[in-house]
Structure 1
Amino acid sequence: MDSRKPVEFTLDLSADRSSVKDVVKGILHTIFFHRFFTPIYPSTHDVLDLTLPYVSEDDIESLIDTKTTSLVRALDTASTQQSPQYTSKAGRGTVVLQFLEKKRRKAGWFGVKGEEETVWETWIISVTLTSARGESEAARNRKVMERSLQKAAMKVVSLVNAERAHIPPITTNETNPFPYQILVNPRSF
């Protein structure tokens, strides 16, 4: 078992109820665009007033859509809870994207070999849900959303260009050498 701790990056996003799914999808696609090590056709997607990279792979699109829908449901559930124990979590959610490396497991006492997956990079995306009581608040919230999305996208670009030493070597001929998983509101983060 590898004793290295996976590299973690944290991104903060703000979004209103109507845009949260698009904003989170946009930043997840941006990360995948820079960390998906297979040939892809470059594509873009407009989110708010930003043009972001988009990975048009069916598996990734489906996974991102499923997980962002789960996040929206969790945010809706948290914001409708009346109990005081839920008020601190209302309007906040977390999406965690992990990239994994498949490693061969050495034979142990019983001679069992196999593969194990270890995390080598984690992206923690904290989402804060905003709401507005009027037109001026809605306009202000839109500017906050745009700034947070732009800042997060620029942070992704800057981190993926600067932080490359931890990327494991590609040791397989498989189409995608590094599996991935997306978690919504995991307990450990």
Structure 2
Amino acid sequence: MSNPSNTYPTVTIDVVLDRQTAKEVLRGVLHSILFHRLFGTVVPQTFEVLDVTMPGISDADMERLIDEKVNAFWKGIESGTNRRGQIVLTFSEKRPKKSWFQIYEEEVPWEQWVVNAELRQLKTERDPQAFNATLSNSLTHALRVILTHTSSLRGRTAVPPITKVDGISPFPLKMAVRMGGVEIG
């Protein structure tokens, strides 16, 4: 769960995707993480993905960001030979930093989420129900990881003091898509 080179927690979520539900699954997982990590005024919503109810946020900017990254992930899967990739979500705080002649703010990460996603294809006509059950279990496990981390002592103490709330998040966040270790989109 943690990354030894960093002092902040890194939470890894592994999901298995199929062509029909890949975008839906990724949107649901990203929305669920943001639902538990945005500390501004959040308008909640829910998503039904493979019979799993997932929490989400109703915010045009966040939804646009999620759609942009999910679409970049999908284009990477479609255009390359990779059947797996990552969407990395990093939360940071702004801290003052002094240099010789000025004081400026730097972004210092306090938590990172890595969603490892793998596209699998059905092998037979009979597989869909068993495969959907596997996907559903993968989603349920992802939600359990999110809830366990955010409610744990380590997950709660990772959050820096909130000094002001401008909009939906008091902290800068970055979302990156990686295929084969290379950032895309």
Highest CA radius of gyration, 1 or 2? 1
Partner of 2:23: 21
Query: How does the TM-score come out when normalised to structure 1?
Result: 0.87
1:150 aligns with 2:140: yes
How far off its partner does 1:136 sit? Answer: 1.4
AA partner of residue 80 (structure 2): A
Pairwise CA RMSD: 1.8
Q: Partner letter of residue 103 of structure 1? A: R
SS at match of 2:80: helix
Gaps of 5+ in 2: none
Distance 1:18 1:188 in 2: 25
CA deviation after TM superposition for structure 1 residue 77, in Å? 1.6
Of 156, 159, 173, which aligns to 1:164? 156
Moved more, 52-61 or 38-47: 38-47
Gaps of 5+ in 1: 80-89
- Is 1:121 the counterpart of 2:111 in the alignment? yes
Question: Residue 60 of structure 1 aligns with which residue?
Answer: 62
Distance 1:77 1:67 in 2: 15
Q: Is the 8 A contact 1:13 1:145 kept in 2?
A: yes
Q: Does 1:132 align with 2:127?
A: no
SS where residue 45 of structure 1 aligns?
strand
Deviation at residue 15 of structure 1 after TM alignment: 0.9
- Pick the aligned partner of 1:70 from 72, 78, 84: 72
The one-letter amino acid paired with 1:11 is I
Query: 1:105–1:113: 8 Å Cα contact kept in structure 2?
Result: yes
Structure 2: how far apart are the matches of 1:24 and 1:121? 19
Q: TM-score, normalised by structure 2?
A: 0.88
C-alpha distance in structure 2 between counterparts of 1:171 and 1:48, whole Å: 39
Please give the alpha-carbon distance, in whole angstroms, between the structure 1 residues aligned to 2:120 and 2:165: 45
Alpha-carbon spacing, 1:66–1:52, altered in 2? closer, same or farther (3 Å): same
